[in-house]
Amino acid sequence: MQRLIEYRYDKPLHHQLMKAADYSMLDIDVLVLIYHMAKGCEGGILEIGSFLGASTVAAGLGVRASGIEKKFVSIEPGGRLKDHRLSSKDIFKDLRKHIARAGLLESVTLINGSSFDETTIATVKERFGPAEIGLFIFDADANVRRDLDCYGDRLADGCWMVIDDYISATNKAGPTRAQVDELTGQGRLLPLGFYGWGTWIGRWLIPS
């Protein structure tokens, strides 16, 4: 917690994260936490649902600050978003633009597709070996269990987990919460708390 507060007084870093927050549906505190986790995690990073790239930029900055080369894959199906404060005619194009502006385009592998497409799954599993992912970020639809079934064998024991919409005014909250609670009850997830407006933070546990 002390380290997270210290980041607020790092003016260049905080300025970058606040700029990212301008095109994010995540709270600034969640972006700061993602930066911290990406900086300190062992292993690679898998993000599902990058949207316009705020969390991608936060994680990329964290990797850069770590001074360690880390595999980083981010999946975004793209499309259009109308009648929203973050409206976009081409989500994937805007995602690439924001990552490029942060100087991180060479640091992350962007996949324009759905996380559950066979080609996407094959690409991710070619990129990461078993238990190689140290940070998993999910901010997509309400089916986190589906993607954990797809990629769970690539998550390291103790992998940091960031799952958005556990608490939310959207219709994603109910299914997301039910799936996370079920996995917690099964001993697969270790809850650590909530950040921002209802983002679930925890760890992935591999059964002994």
pLDDT of 113 reads 96
100's CB contacts (< 8 A; 6+ apart) are none
Determine the straight-line distance between the first and last CA of the chain, rounded to whole angstroms: 30
Instruction: For each of the domains in the chain, give its residue range(s) and CATH number, in order of start.
Output: 2-204 (3.40.50.150)
Position 105 confidence tier, pLDDT thresholds 50, 70, 90: very high
d(CA 208, CA 103): 41
Using CA atoms in the order 124, 126, 131, 137, what is the torsion angle rounded to 10 degrees? -10
pLDDT in tens, 106-153: 999 999 999 999 999 999 999 999 999 999 999 998 899 999 999 999
How many residues comprise the chain? Answer: 208
> What pLDDT is attached to residue 2?
75
Q: Are 72 and 59 in contact (CB under 8 A)?
A: yes
54 with 26: CB under 8 angstroms?
yes
Task: Report the distance separating Cα 80 and Cα 124, nearest Å.
Answer: 25
Neighbours of 203 (CB within 10 A): 17
* pLDDT for res 86: 84
CB atoms within 10 A of CB 24: 23
Average pLDDT over all residues of the chain: 93
Reported confidence tier of residue 84, pLDDT bands at 50, 70, 90: confident
52 touches 86 (CB < 8 A): yes
Assigned token pair, 90: 């081409």
pTM of the model: 0.93
- The model's pLDDT over 153-207, given as tens digits with 9 standing for 90+, comes to 999 999 999 999 999 878 888 999 999 999 999 999 999 999 888 999 999 999 8
Does residue 99 or residue 6 have the better pLDDT? Answer: 99
